[in-house]
């Protein structure tokens, strides 16, 4: 209501839409420009107080609503600024007077003087003539015929018109291709693309053949039935910059058993380039393989954390009514009836006659992704390295979740540049977390760097394909900054955050735990969001609030995507082959 | 769990106020004569419940209303055994009561209930007109005046909550919508007790919000919200703050949307 609000003209959008009778946005014009409209947006003069902007919105929207800015009329005043100005002065007064009868606000803001015309055509006639017309006030703004005629029909969010749906595009609308980094798959030159135009080629070819052989038109060639003017086709070989490229599965050609049989898989993943606001397609090669260390079963001990078990056991994700309980909120009438029937018949059964409503249904699939990079080697005062802490935490979490009947997988992850991001399968979903898996986890040695985004993306794919549960959670155990060759600070953070967004859109919750780290990393907070990240010296410190952490991470999914897990699995299986 | 889920409205001397616009009254009368079940469709707060109350009064029948909620079980509708002084006695649910008495049973927002619950009404809603009560081992014939009316608010509930095809095809559908401006003004005047001018402004605001194009509001200003605002005005509040509290703030929690709606409303109630 005050002048401080003047920077947010968006607030007038409902008002504008109502008065214009169609969907209309409101934005600020460039500094120095006066108010105008392009038929989809009303541009108000920048920096003016809200009351002034409200007036401007009212007038421009009223002009649109009254049809004063119809294409035909605008065309006739194009290139004639003097006529346009007179027309605006006349029409503005006329539509405002009309609006004032309907809307009290317009009556309050009405300019002085009665309108001297009664229709748009009359205004146009008078504007073209020589009679004296009072100048429009400053807030009437201007009519900009060029912008009005250039804008497509309809406002933002309006229904597409036939023009929009027609397969037609102008060659100038081909997006300019820029030089794209060092090694991205090259784009073909525009000149070659012109020659590749399939219609152009087939037409010339068939014309040539027709001349040569004198062939008649083949049926189905004619224009009958279709009024679809196809002038050119656009090859959809490249997607827009905001579209997320899909991972491209790698194919392994080698002797011996096929890769899928020995659980080797991988894919090329895109990476988000924050500086250019676009994806770099097929940028990171992620390879997933089982860690083949000789299992040393003596090292298979896993700490048992009773607090963690109890906390996670509470983690029910769906309500369930339990009947015939010894205690509860409600009477289970049927059990009660049965009890009385039994008592009258001479039996004395236990009095389990209550209903209890508990969140019991679990249905959780969790993938624990352990940071196995070299940065995790620093040690704490007790002589345990961060990596050691993370490993123990992963083992304890995996054992606890598995005992509670959830689906669990444990993967280690590290990278050496974008060509070699490794995901080490320590415990895939399909295996039990037996002595072998525990021993393998204990033998995981830290090395390499942290290309977090690619690791998250592949772990997400595994989770989506193999977990097979409606609730899916990615648990990242990491402490340090995402860092790799050409993967630093802002770029790395943005990519990792993007990867997490992708996962959340696909219905996978994400949680990051930093265990044993000496310094608190702001970078990970920024990547995961402070609600989905926790850090502590040991896992036991986090155990008392683990259920809360899990639930927060899962609740962040606004609309979980309950895709059939079988279909997704089939897709990756064929990709691995 | 209470057993008295149904609300019984005896037909009283004073008729509930309902202003008919289309042929809904004629359709309902015809359906009532034949005992056909009726499905009322329409946006929130457009007068579905009021319509049923008015019709029940006109037909001189009792009306039993059950509000659907997601824990509504078939026992809540049909009835259950209760413990009374060491003995179990059967207590009729609202639906059974209506079947026995020949009353109109109105199941409000029935889609909110689980689908297995709604199946109970199937044998009542077709030519059989029977209510099987399996716990008693009997099947009740519906008394002559019995009529089933359900209401349904398309688009408001989630995709998961839709009416089963097999359920909807048993019903005669009456679609209700917001009344035309002049009729709605009359309704607001009558219900809220405000003067004609205030009612006109309120209805204009309601229509402006309903006709916004390209805006995703979950709900629009219903007749009920307009009446609420009118009642505040009748209690001496200024029109502007009544509209702000009863309409603008209830429609959205998003501060941007609230601000934009406030601007739109201010066009009618200039500060």
B260–A337 CB contact, under 8 Å: no
Residue B83 near chain A (CB below 8 Å) = yes
Of B213, B259, B263, the CB nearest to A23: B213
Q: In this model, does residue A560 exceed pLDDT 50?
A: no
Interface of B with A in 180-219 (CB under 8 A): 201, 208-209, 211-215
- For A470-492, what is each residue's pLDDT tens digit? 788 899 888 767 778 888 878 88
CA angle B84, B90, B93 (to 5 degrees): 120
ipTM score: 0.77
Closest C-alpha to A554, from A319, A393, A317? A317
Quick check: B75 and A14 CB within 8 A?
A: no
Question: Which residue of A11, A64, A351 to mutate against B (max B Cβ within 10 Å)?
Answer: A11
Mean pLDDT of all residues in A381-404: 82
Smallest CA-to-CA distance from A13 within A37, A30, A33 is with: A37
Q: At what angle do helices A546-555 and A306-313 cross, to 10 degrees?
A: 40
Q: Is A15 on the interface with B (CB under 8 A)?
A: yes
**What's the pLDDT score for residue A373?**
80
Mutate to test the interface with A, among B83, B88, B214, B269 (most CBs of A within 10 A): B214
Cα–Cα–Cα angle for A518, A521, A526, rounded to 5 degrees:
165
Answer whether A15 sits within 8 Å of B267, measured CB to CB.
yes
Closest-CA residue to A386 (of A539, A276, A244): A539
On chain A, the residues whose CB falls within 8 A of the CB of B211 are 18, 21
pTM assigned to the model: 0.56
For B183-203, write each residue's pLDDT tens digit.
Answer: 999 999 999 999 999 999 999
- In this structure, CATH architecture of domain A297-304+363-576: 3-Layer(aba) Sandwich (3.40)
Residues composing chain A? 577
Which CATH superfamily includes the segment(s) B7-175? P-loop containing nucleotide triphosphate hydrolases (3.40.50.300)
Nearest residue, CB atoms, A336 vs list B83, B262, B264:
B83
pLDDT at res. A568? 37
What are the pLDDT digits (tens) for B18-65? Answer: 988 889 999 999 999 998 999 998 888 888 999 999 999 999 999 999
Say what the alpha-carbon torsion angle A224, A228, A233, A237 is, to the nearest 10 degrees: -110
Which residues of chain A neighbour B214 with C-beta distances below 8 Å?
17, 22-23, 155-158
Residue A445 CA to residue A374 CA, distance in Å, equals 9
- pLDDT tens track, chain B, 271 positions: 444 455 655 555 678 899 888 899 999 999 999 989 999 988 888 889 999 999 999 999 999 999 888 778 787 888 877 767 667 788 899 999 999 999 999 998 887 777 667 778 899 988 889 999 888 889 999 999 999 999 887 765 444 456 778 888 889 999 998 999 999 999 999 999 999 999 999 999 999 998 887 666 767 889 999 999 999 999 999 999 999 999 999 988 888 888 889 999 999 987 7
Across A88-104, average pLDDT: 89
Domain regions of chain A by residue span: 3-150, 297-304+363-576, 320-361
Return the beta strands (E) in B121-195 as ranges.
130-133, 138-141, 147-152, 172-175
CA distances from A428 to A342, A393, A408, A412 (A): 51, 17, 8, 11
What residues in B contact A18, CB-CB < 8 Å? 208, 211-212, 264, 267
């Amino acid at each position: 209501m005050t002048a401080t609000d003047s920077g947010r003209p968006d607030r007038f959008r409902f008002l504008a839409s109502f008065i214009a009778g169609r969907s209309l946005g409101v934005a600020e014009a460039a500094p120095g420009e006066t108010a105008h409209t392009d038929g989809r947006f009303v541009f108000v003069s920048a920096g003016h107080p809200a009351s002034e902007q409200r007036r401007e919105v009212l007038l421009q929207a009223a002009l649109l609503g009254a049809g004063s800015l119809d294409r035909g009329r605008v065309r006739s005043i194009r290139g004639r600024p003097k006529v346009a100005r007179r027309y605006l002065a006349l029409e503005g007064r006329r539509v405002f007077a009309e609006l004032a009868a309907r809307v009290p606000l317009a009556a309050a803001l009405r300019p002085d003087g009665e309108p001297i015309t009664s229709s748009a055509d009359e205004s146009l006639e008078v504007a073209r003539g020589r009679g004296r017309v009072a100048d429009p006030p400053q807030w009437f703004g201007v009519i900009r015929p060029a912008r009005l005629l250039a804008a497509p029909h309809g406002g933002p969010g309006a229904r597409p018109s036939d023009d929009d749906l027609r397969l037609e595009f102008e060659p100038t609308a081909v997006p300019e291709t820029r030089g794209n980094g060092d090694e991205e798959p090259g784009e073909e030159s525009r000149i070659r693309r012109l020659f590749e135009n399939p219609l152009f080629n087939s037409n010339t070819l068939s014309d040539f053949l027709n001349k040569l052989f004198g062939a008649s038109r083949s049926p189905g060639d004619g224009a009958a039935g279709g009024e679809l003017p196809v002038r050119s086709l656009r090859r959809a070989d490249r997607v827009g910059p905001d579209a997320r490229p899909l991972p491209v599965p790698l194919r392994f050609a080698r002797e011996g058993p096929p890769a899928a049989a020995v659980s080797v898989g991988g894919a090329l993943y895109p990476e988000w380039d924050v500086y250019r606001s676009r994806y770099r397609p097929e940028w990171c090669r992620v390879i997933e393989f089982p860690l083949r260390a000789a299992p040393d079963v003596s090292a298979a001990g896993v700490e048992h954390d009773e607090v963690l078990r109890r906390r996670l056991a509470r983690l029910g994700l769906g309500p369930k009514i339990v009947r015939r309980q010894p205690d509860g909120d409600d009477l289970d009438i049927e059990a009660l009836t049965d009890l009385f029937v039994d008592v009258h018949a001479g039996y004395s059964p236990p009095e389990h006659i209550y209903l209890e409503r508990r969140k019991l249904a679990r249905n959780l699939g969790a993938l624990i992704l352990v940071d196995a990079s070299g940065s995790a080697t620093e040690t704490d005062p007790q002589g345990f390295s961060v990596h050691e802490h993370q490993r123990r935490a992963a083992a304890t979490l995996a054992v606890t979740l598995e005992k509670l009947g959830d689906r669990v997988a444990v993967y280690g992850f590290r990278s050496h540049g974008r060509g070699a991001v490794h995901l080490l399968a320590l415990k895939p979903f399909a295996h039990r977390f037996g002595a072998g898996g525990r021993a393998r986890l204990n033998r995981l040695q830290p090395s390499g760097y942290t290309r977090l985004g690619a690791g998250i993306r592949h772990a997400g794919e595994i989770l989506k394909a193999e977990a097979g549960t409606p609730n899916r959670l990615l648990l990242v155990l990491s402490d340090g900054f995402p860092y790799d060759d050409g993967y630093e600070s802002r770029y790395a953070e943005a990519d990792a955050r993007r990867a997490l967004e992708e996962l959340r859109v696909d219905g996978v919750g994400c949680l990051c735990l930093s265990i044993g780290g000496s310094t608190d990393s702001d970078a990970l907070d920024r990547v995961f969001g402070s609600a989905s990240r926790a850090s502590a010296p040991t896992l036991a410190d986090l155990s008392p609030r683990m259920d809360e952490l899990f639930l927060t991470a899962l609740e962040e999914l606004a609309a979980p995507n309950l895709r059939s897990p079988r279909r997704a699995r089939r897709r990756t299986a064929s990709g691995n082959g | 769990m209470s057993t008295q889920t149904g609300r019984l409205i005896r037909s009283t001397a004073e008729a509930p106020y309902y202003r008919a616009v289309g042929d809904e009254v004629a359709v309902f009368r015809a359906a009532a004569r034949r005992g056909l079940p009726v499905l009322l469709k329409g946006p929130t707060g457009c007068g579905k419940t009021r319509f049923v109350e008015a019709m029940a009064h006109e037909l001189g029948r009792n009306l039993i209303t059950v509000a659907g909620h997601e824990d509504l079980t078939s026992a809540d509708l049909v009835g259950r055994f209760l413990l009374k002084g060491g003995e179990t006695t059967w207590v009729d649910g609202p639906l059974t009561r209506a079947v026995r008495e020949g009353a109109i049973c109105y199941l409000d927002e029935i889609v909110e209930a689980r689908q297995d619950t709604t199946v109970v009404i199937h044998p009542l809603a077709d030519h059989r007109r029977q209510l099987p009560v399996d716990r008693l081992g009997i099947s009740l014939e519906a008394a002559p005046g019995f009529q089933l009316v359900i209401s349904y608010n398309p688009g408001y509930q989630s995709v998961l909550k839709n009416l089963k095809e097999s359920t909807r095809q048993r019903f005669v559908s009456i679609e209700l919508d917001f009344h035309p401006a002049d009729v709605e003004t009359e309704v607001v005047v009558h219900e809220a007790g405000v003067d004609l001018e205030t009612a006109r402004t309120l209805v204009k605001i309601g229509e402006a919000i309903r006709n916004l194009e390209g805006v995703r509001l979950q709900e629009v200003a219903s007749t009920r919200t307009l009446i609420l605002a009118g009642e505040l005005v009748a209690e001496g509040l200024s029109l502007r703050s009544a509209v702000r509290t009863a309409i603008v703030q209830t429609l959205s929690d998003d501060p941007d949307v609230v601000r934009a709606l406030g601007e739109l409303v201010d066009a009618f109630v200039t500060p």
